[in-house]
Amino acid sequence: MNDVDMAPIWQANWSENKPEGIAPIWLDWLLEAGSLTARLQRTGRAFSLNLVRQQDIELPAFLQQRWHTGRGLLREVVLLLDQQPCIYAQSFLPDHTVSALQPLATLGAVPLGHYIFTQPELSRSAIEIADFAEGLQLPGLGVLPQLWGRRSYFTLSQHELLVQELYLPALTEFIRI
């Protein structure tokens, strides 16, 4: 289907509804309206980013339909606190967004949030949440226990991208549960 093996987390049961039975602290983190990178940095722990992959791909079918293009950029990163993987992020950018917003194609180990949350014409869709059953396998992280994730579409100067973030088990060490 695609040029690259990617975790098909877009196939989850995403919903704008608040999940029942979720701890309030998790809900607070999942519904964070600002930069998740900035929130992680505010924990006072050593923040770093591991660029897992960034490459041109054939977009998943639902994004091809939404964006009227077949190609785009896949960016996968892991955000770490004190060298512990806390967030796995997968971003999709259609080719026309990459062309219009060239800095997005050359971020390397710079967090996406450092760029998009400084843009004056930034808008964000509703945050959707999903529960991932035990057994999901992510690049560089192996098979994982049950996880929560969120996704939303960002629009910068009329150009859209999708960001999906999964909250990894080590995050519990750095937030109050």
Q: Tell me whether residue 101 is in a domain.
A: yes
d(CA 177, CA 157) in angstroms, rounded, equals 38
Q: Tell me whether residue 127 is in a domain.
A: yes
- Give SS3 for 10: helix
**Does 20 show up as a binding residue in the annotation?**
no
Neighbours of 135 (CB within 10 A): 9
Q: Tell me whether residue 145 is in a domain.
A: yes
* 79-118 tens-digit pLDDT: 999 999 999 999 999 999 999 998 988 998 899 998 999 9
Full residue range of the structural domain in which residue 139 is found:
13-173
Q: Tell me whether residue 70 is in a domain.
A: yes
Q: Tell me whether residue 1 is in a domain.
A: no
**Does 80 show up as a binding residue in the annotation?**
no
Res. 6 pLDDT band, cuts 50 70 90: low
Domain count, the chain: 1
**Does 32 show up as a binding residue in the annotation?**
no
Q: Tell me whether residue 99 is in a domain.
A: yes
Q: Tell me whether residue 3 is in a domain.
A: no
pTM for the predicted model, two decimal places: 0.92
